Amino acid sequence: MLNSRKIGAYISQQRKNKNLTQAELAEKLNITHQAISKWENGSSLPDIAILVELAEIFQVTVDEILKGESNEVIEENKEMNNEVERKHIENSNLINEKSDSGILDEILESVENIKKSFQKESIRKTKLDPDFEESFKKQKETFKKQKESFIKDKERLKNDIKSKFGKLNFINSKDLVEIAPFLDRKSAENGLDIVTDGMDIENIIGLAPFLGRDKIDSIVDKAINKEEIDFTILMGLCPFISREKIDELVDIALENEVNVEIIGGIAPFVSREKMGVILDKAMDNDIIDFELLASIAPFIKRSKMDEIINRMMENEMDIKVLEALAPFMKRETLGRVIDNCINKEELDIEMITMLCPFLKRDKMDELVDNILDDERFEEVLGGIVPFLSSSKCEEIFYEMLDQDERNYGVIATLAPFLNKDVIIEAINIDLKSGKSDGKLLSILGPFIS
The DSSP secondary structure of 19-49, one letter per residue, reads T--HHHHHHHHTS-HHHHHHHHTTS----HH
**Rounded average pLDDT over 248-276:** 86
Q: What are phi and psi of 95, to 5 degrees?
A: -65, 155
Measure the CA–CA gap between 425 and 306, rounded to whole angstroms.
44
Highest mean pLDDT among 36-45, 298-307, 310-319: 298-307
> What's the pLDDT score for residue 133?
54
> What's the pLDDT score for residue 121?
46
Q: What is the pLDDT of residues 13-30, one digit of tens each?
A: 898 888 888 888 888 888
**Rounded average pLDDT over 183-201:** 86
Highest mean pLDDT among 37-46, 106-115, 123-132, 383-392: 383-392
For residue 347, pLDDT beyond 80: yes
Measure the CA–CA gap between 336 and 309, rounded to whole angstroms.
10
Measure the CA–CA gap between 240 and 36, rounded to whole angstroms.
12
Contact 394, 417 (CB under 8 A): no
**Rounded average pLDDT over 361-373:** 91
Q: Please say whether the dihedral angle defined by the alpha carbons of residues 383, 387, 392 and 393, taken in this order, is positive or negative.
A: positive
Return the higher-pLDDT residue of 435 and 275. Answer: 275
> What's the pLDDT score for residue 101?
61
Q: State the average pLDDT for the chain.
A: 81
> What's the pLDDT score for residue 98?
39
Q: What is the pLDDT of residues 132-164, one digit of tens each?
A: 456 656 666 776 777 677 677 778 877 888 888
> What's the pLDDT score for residue 61?
87
Residues 6+ apart with CB under 8 A from 356: 364, 383, 384, 387
- Flag the least confident range among 93-97, 163-167, 394-398: 93-97
Return the higher-pLDDT residue of 94 and 341. Answer: 341
Return the higher-pLDDT residue of 227 and 331. Answer: 331
Tell me the C-alpha to C-alpha distance, in Å, between residue 62 and each of 7, 8, 52, 59, 295: 11, 13, 6, 10, 22
> What's the pLDDT score for residue 125?
44
Q: What is the pLDDT of residues 207-226, one digit of tens each?
A: 999 999 899 888 888 766 66
Number of H helices, E strands in the chain: 26, 0
Torsion, Cα 267 5 70 66, to 10 degrees, reads 170
**Rounded average pLDDT over 238-266:** 85
For residue 375, pLDDT beyond 50: yes
Strand partners, 195: 171
pLDDT band for position 227 (50/70/90)?
Answer: low
> What's the pLDDT score for residue 345?
77
